[in-house]
Amino acid sequence: MYTQALNAKDAADGGAEDADRMARFQARIDAEERIEPNDWMPEAYRRTLVRQISQHAHSEIVGMLPEGNWVTRAPSLRRKAALIAKVQDEGGHGLYLYSAAETLGVAREELVDQLLSGKAKYSSIFNYPTLSWADIGAIGWLVDGAAIMNQIPLCRCSYGPYARAMIKVCKEESFHQRQGFEIMNTLAKGSPAQKAMAQDALNRWWWPSVMMFGPPDSASQHSDTSMRWKIKRFTNDELRQQFIDATVPQAHYMGLEIPDPALKHDAESGHWTIGEIDWTEFKAVIAGNGPCNRQRLRQRREAHESGAWVREAALAHAEKRRRRAAAAVTAAAAE
């Protein structure tokens, strides 16, 4: 794991967090300097990053399940190839993110265990079912659209490895958003049955997508500290509003209706305002009681168990290479 290269003493020296060090750390953040793995950082900064990055990694990995469910049923070879590539990209994002978390001194195995045991959180959005092909369009358009809105500012996160991982992730997410929009637009402009399918998907995915940005600012436990440390650059409500303002006109362009009778455009502020978000539903989903939480975790556990032989083979191969390289060094020294 990457943590082997860390200067463990400095990174873990939480006891010596005196005011001077904290002030110097905050000054670096305020000056827009990047914090790197071997730099001193407050223990709470490290913990916040491990929490956020690992939840983000888990979301990418669990996010493969609802879409993977449609790979065999995509309506054409072109759609199938694009969907397989997208699902594979999400797996890749999860891997960069676990690597970024490892630079903070935590082992990937420990993070994966937390996911599989149900202790770790992952995005609420992936606990909803994909009932029709239009759901694949809605996920790309809305879920990846929301993910980009949240992740573009993370490219300027104060922690270097996370910010750098986000640059590549965002490029790929923007392809995903466009392929989702294109699926939705094709259905919306298709037969009445296809348009109805697109509208039904929008009806089911709209509110969960709006909730993805997290609790309202008044209830967000971590926003203040994460904003001060420039891990987050915008609050949950600010990003949610940016998403709504960008997405409502796209729905109208496709001739689809946002499922919110209270939706209105405020000419003065230029923003779209929405009705009440059902935070009880959000809380239930993140507490493990959404429509698919149990199924998602069961499928992840099964995938982890059935992949055990691959991990064992990779470790055995790495060990064989290590031994060969060591033997070559010994032989060269003996010559």
Please select the residue that binds ligand BYC; options are 144, 241, 258, 292, rule is CB under 6 A.
144
Contact window for ligand BYC (CB under 6 A) among 184-192, 209-217, 242-250, 327-335: 209-217
Q: For 271, phi and psi rounded to 5 degrees?
A: -100, 155
Is the CB of 171 or the CB of 189 nearer to ligand BYC? Answer: 171
Please select the residue that binds ligand BYC; options are 37, 145, 214, 290, rule is CB under 6 A.
214
**Secondary structure letter of residue 159 according to DSSP:** B
> How many residues make contact with ligand BYC (CB under 6 A)?
27
Q: How far is the CB of 265 from ligand BYC (least distance, A)?
A: 26
The answer to whether the CB of 151 falls within 8 A of the CB of 233 is no
Task: Based on the shown chain and the rule CB under 6 A, indicate whether residue 59 belongs to the binding site for ligand BYC.
Answer: yes
Is the CB of 52 or the CB of 103 nearer to ligand BYC? Answer: 52
The answer to whether the CB of 161 falls within 8 A of the CB of 100 is yes
Which DSSP string corresponds to 281-301? HHHHIIIIISSSHHHHHHHHH
Please select the residue that binds ligand BYC; options are 100, 101, 104, 143, rule is CB under 6 A.
143
Task: Based on the shown chain and the rule CB under 6 A, indicate whether residue 47 belongs to the binding site for ligand BYC.
Answer: no
**Helix/strand/coil for 114:** helix
Task: Based on the shown chain and the rule CB under 6 A, indicate whether residue 55 belongs to the binding site for ligand BYC.
Answer: yes
Task: Based on the shown chain and the rule CB under 6 A, indicate whether residue 226 belongs to the binding site for ligand BYC.
Answer: yes
Please select the residue that binds ligand BYC; options are 221, 280, 306, 330, rule is CB under 6 A.
221
Quick one: tokens of 22? 């904290």
Q: How many residues does the chain have?
A: 335
Of the candidates 170, 230, 211, the one whose C-alpha atom is nearest the C-alpha of residue 48 is 230
Q: How far is the CB of 312 from ligand BYC (least distance, A)?
A: 28
Helix, strand and coil content of the chain, in percent to the nearest 5, comes to 75, 0, 25
Sign of CA dihedral 109, 113, 119, 124: positive
Give the DSSP H or E segment for 272. Answer: strand 271-273
Residues that bind ligand BYC (CB under 6 A): 51-52, 55-56, 59-60, 63, 90, 121, 123-124, 143-144, 147, 150, 212-215, 220-223, 226, 232, 236, 286
